Structure 1
Amino acid sequence: MPIITIHKNGQIQTGEVKNNANLVVCAGIKKFPYPHLKYGCGMGKCCKCACRVIAGQEHLPEPNWKELKLLGDRIDLGFRLMCQLWVSHDLEIEQNDLV
């Protein structure tokens, strides 16, 4: 099962999720990474779940059209929308209040 590490506002939280889990869905049903992950619509429209991927990017699919539209050049900096990803490998992400 994938290990997720979240860096947020100077704190680091680590937890395990089921294989092929969507982190926004997990947070929405009050499982890890709740309450550490900020999220909104869960449909790739609001960008509240945007995170910078620190490690594990190589295991993620290419950004979809929603991510390309909302994140623009930030994709080149490693940002992704967590609501658009299903995690099957360890992932380390950063989400600060300024993101």
Structure 2
Amino acid sequence: MPTIRFLTSGTDVDFPDGEDVNLLRVALRNKCGVPFKCATGLCGTDRVRIVDGAEHLSPPKRRERELLGDLLDEGVRLACQTYVSGPVSLYWDPDQKSIDEDSRAGKRLLAEWLDAEDGQ
């Protein structure tokens, strides 16, 4: 089973071999602490830096390329736009501010993401 290592929170999450999983959805389901706000690739709140395993990530989507630009070359990705197919290690700035998950908008967005399937 491949493992996603969330270095900032010290959490490791295994997922079934042969599956592509959304990085943000895995983080939310396993309470890994990745910050998020819009979860659509527009705000950039869920920026993560890939330490190892970049070859196991989906190619950057248009929104990621537009928002991150040269940061992509430095290993920065948006968790909401990134699918993982093998072992990956990543971290994020612990000072990044997330949506208030107890707010009405936070609860709605969280429910939407947790209820959805992973498929691309």
- Counterpart in 2 of 1:26? 26
Residues in 2 aligned to 1:80 and 1:4: alpha-carbon distance in whole angstroms:
14
Shift of 1:98: 4.8
The sequence identity of aligned pairs, in percent, is 30
Give the equivalent residue in structure 2 for 1:40: 37
Q: Which runs of 4+ in 1 moved over 4 A?
A: none
Does 2:71 match 1:80?
no
More strand by share: 1
Q: Which residue of 1 aligns with 2:114?
A: none
5+ residue gaps, structure 2, are: 97-120
5+ residue gaps, structure 1, are none
Give distance in 1, aligned partners of 2:95 and 2:62: 23
Query: How far apart are the structure 1 equivalents of 2:83 and 2:54?
Result: 12
CA drift at 1:50: 0.8
SS of match in other structure, 2:51: strand
Question: Under a length normalisation based on structure 2, what TM-score does the superposition of the two structures give?
Answer: 0.67
1:69 paired residue among 66, 71, 90: 66
More helix by percentage: 2
Given that 2:68 and 2:76 are in contact with CA atoms closer than 8 Å, whether structure 1 keeps it comes out as yes
